[in-house]
Chains A and B, each alone.
Chain A
Amino acid sequence: MWKTEATGVPHVEPAVRQCLPPCQIKCPINEDIQRTNVLISLLPDDPDLAKEGILQISDYLYDKNPFFNICGYICGLCELECNYLKKGGAIKRRLLKRFLSDVYTEHLRELGEFRTVKQKEKVAVIGGGPGGLMCAYHLGKKGYDVTIIEASDRLGGALWLVPDYRLPKDVLQTTVESLVRIAGIGVRYNNKLGAGGLTLERLKEEGFKAAFLATGLPYARVLTFERQSLEGQDLAGVMYGHTYLYEVSHNNIAADYFNGKRVIVTGGGNVAFDVARSARRQGGDVTVVALEREDKDHRDGIPADEEEVQGAWEEGIRIVYSRGVRKIIGQSGRFKGINCPTCVSVFDTEGFNPRFDCSDCMDLEGDVLIITVGQAPDRSMLQKEGLLDGQGRLDVDHLTLQSRSEPWVFVGGDVRRVGFMVEAMGEGLVVAESIDRYLRGVDMREGRRRDYEAYQIPLRRDYKREPRVPWMPPEDRMHFRIFERGFTLKEAIAEAGRCVTCGPCLSCKACVSIGFQKSLSPVEVDVTRCSGCGLCVYVCNYYSAHLVSSGAKIVSETDMFRCKSCGMCVAACPSQARTMVDDGTAERIAAVYSSLT
């Protein structure tokens, strides 16, 4: 599978070239999507019989990704790169994982602890969100003595802010509790770095040999216009989405809190939509005001997922695109409305830099304004700990995530760059590897840069359309329970079977793992027999067989990275030039035929 190629560029590690299906490349933790899709497609259709297989597949996923059952509810990043996207709809991998999750989450409580003895160094993980937990899990598995230093009284970080109708709290609770138990991780709750005298230095004195700082973005970002903070954010009726979701997650807000109220939500990200849809469920008449455009393919397209926008629209939430907020209007200390100019562009070559046309303004009246324009890190803590550079940016090596000023400290997750849950998990995985290398005193960089090569979709006669995902009708889902029905066993088998397994066999080997084949048999071409007719090229669905010049003649060749060992080219070859090495078929046939006489 591996091919090393030097890029020849100074100061850049030689990249390891890896061929994977596009979904696995998109996934920041490169989950074994193809393999597990194949295995799901081969489950028995009897739920009782299928359970053993479901647990086996889940155990396999869990070993690398202890969050997979949460991903099954809220992460579908891989689907964005699925080759099937333009051929009938991406394979619904998220729902396939949710299908596993719905069986596995209960089972998690019974799963045994790692048997590794914790005899390696003490490592502190600061922040118990997805990034920190992922790192702690993998270091725990390797035998490090890991302690999570958590500022709040619960693990899971920003995952708690995902509303229940998208991620049930019991799934989250079970997942994080099981994770620390299974990996044998210590947790100190209500310990905030920078408060109560807790500093990195003190952790060092306590004997921690490495630390992972994954403190996320604990503060809501304030609303600005042309780089100036807007006045009126202290009016009654104005709040921040981050705070609102926090209170919702603690059940501190009554179910009918917004009844009869006009709620305006500013922001166009997934969090803004979580806020809008939660407020709608609490009775509000909700309008989302976003800087971005409706067209997601545009550079200034709305960043929220299509499903979120669609769901909000169905639930009767109005969405006003391409509008900013120039003024927050108040009356007698209470919020009254906002003044919104047209946003003509959001991003320029420098990045986020919105421009407005103030000659086209509209006033929007409301009773409540929920500002959801992003979150911010604890900058003063980062400053005090000396982790920022002269420009006030985190001074971190991008490959190893090691701090350049404090080599024993590693930084990752949202605090470094805001992203999806799985991106933070990916950084947790990177840091687990970095800390292990750091403490073992080996090279921090060797072999870690990857150049991925994706495969195109195989040829087939017909591509199937994606199944419809059943959502409860909007009038029946004005509550915080899950409104999306998960796959039944039959649906999961069918959807997993729709996956065309575009990736190479070498990174999958599902068929080998279940004994369909002893190994992946290479196809050999006898060039003395090959006439270069090209029938093999015609019959191969994977662009593996191709013709090349060899001396005076043209012969066929097989790209083993693309070959699936299906044998179709062997059967199609009219001159017996192609053979499959060691696949046992010829022997089996010979044995059967000799018994006929």
Chain B
Amino acid sequence: MSDYEPKVVCFSCKFGWGYLTDEDKLSSKIDNWVPLICTGKIDATHVFDAFSAGADGVLVLGCPEGDCHYQDGNYEAKKRVYLIRRLLESVGIEKERVRIELSTDPKGESIPKLVAQMKKELAKLGPAKKDPVEKSKPNKAMKAVGGKQDG
């Protein structure tokens, strides 16, 4: 267990995080990083798919409250993360595995640190339960948080 390193997928908003640093340069410092134009764009399936694909945690970095370029995208994201956390708990995935932080860091230097910090906390939990979604028929619940269903 000692050399276990949790895998964290990090979504971040381009208007709040790392826009003053070359994206490729930052990419090399942040594993599994998905910069987005707005965190309001993240839907529930993105998060569930991350766990299905083998992630142990998802970190969402949005703009400070009231500062979204698209008005309320960060608020939408925060709301969604709250619901996703409750949903994950209902299928046996610890809610600590999904986190959102509304702040800003134009140079993006803190992103690797925030990811490392989350990894450290997740290491205590151990690997995430794989594919709980299939067993628990979450479609109804996913719909409630704005997620997508197949077909």
Contact = CB atoms under 8 A, between A and B. Distances in A.
Best-buried of A460, A464, A571 by chain B (most CB within 10 Å):
A571
Contact of A597 (B35, B46, B54, B75): B54
A581 interface: no
A592 B33 contact: yes
Nearest to A500: B71
B66 A464 contact: yes
Interface in A190-217: none
Interface residues of B, number: 42
A535 B72 contact: no
Given A42-B19, A535-B146, A597-B54, A571 B41 contact: yes
Best-buried of B75, B80, B148 by chain A (most CB within 10 Å):
B148
Contacts of A501: 69
B73 interface: yes
Contact of B71 (A49, A460, A583, A597): A460
Contacts of B53: 593-594, 596-597
B83 to A, nearest CB: 13
A516 B18 CA distance: 11
A398 interface: no
Contacts of B147: 574
Interface in A151-186: none
B32 A595 contact: yes
Contacts of B73: 566, 568
Given A511-B37, A571-B43, A596 B54 contact: yes
B143 A571 contact: no
A45 interface: yes
Interface in B32-67: 32-38, 40-43, 46, 49-50, 53-55, 66-67
A115 interface: no
Interface stretch (B7-15, B90-98, B109-117, B118-126): B7-15
B78 to A, nearest CB: 11
Contacts of B40: 566-568, 571
A86 interface: no
Given A589-B46, A592-B33, A461 B41 contact: no
A467 interface: no
Contacts of B41: 566-568, 570-571, 585
Interface string B1-28: 0000001010000110001100100000
Contact of A566 (B7, B70, B80): B70
A593 B20 contact: no
A574 B14 CA distance: 25
User: What does DSSP make chain A's interface, helix, strand, loop or mixed?
Assistant: loop
B34 A460 contact: no
A220 to B, nearest CB: 50
B101 interface: no
A530 B7 CA distance: 36
Contacts of A583: 37
A573 B145 CA distance: 10
A568 B38 contact: yes
Nearest to A574: B143
Contact of A592 (B34, B76, B106): B34
Contacts of A45: 106
A461 B32 contact: no
B32 A592 contact: yes
A594 to B, nearest CB: 7
Contacts of B42: 571
Interface in A51-100: none
B66 A516 contact: no
Interface in A528-578: 535, 539, 541, 564-568, 570-576
A501 B9 CA distance: 31
Best-buried of A539, A567, A572 by chain B (most CB within 10 Å):
A567
Interface of A: 38, 42, 44-45, 49, 458-462, 464, 497, 500-501, 511, 514-517, 535, 539, 541, 564-568, 570-576, 583, 585, 588-589, 592-597
Given A42-B19, A516-B37, A596-B55, 19 more contacts: A42-B106, A45-B106, A461-B71, A461-B75, A462-B66, A511-B14, A514-B19, A565-B37, A566-B40, A567-B41, A568-B38, A568-B40, A568-B70, A574-B149, A575-B148, A585-B41, A589-B49, A593-B9, A594-B53
Q: What 4 pairs between A and B have smallest CB-CB spacing?
A: A567-B41, A571-B43, A460-B71, A593-B53
6 contacts: A44-B107, A49-B20, A511-B14, A515-B23, A566-B73, A572-B43
Interface of B: 7, 9, 14-15, 19-20, 23, 32-38, 40-43, 46, 49-50, 53-55, 66-73, 75-76, 80, 106-107, 143, 146-149
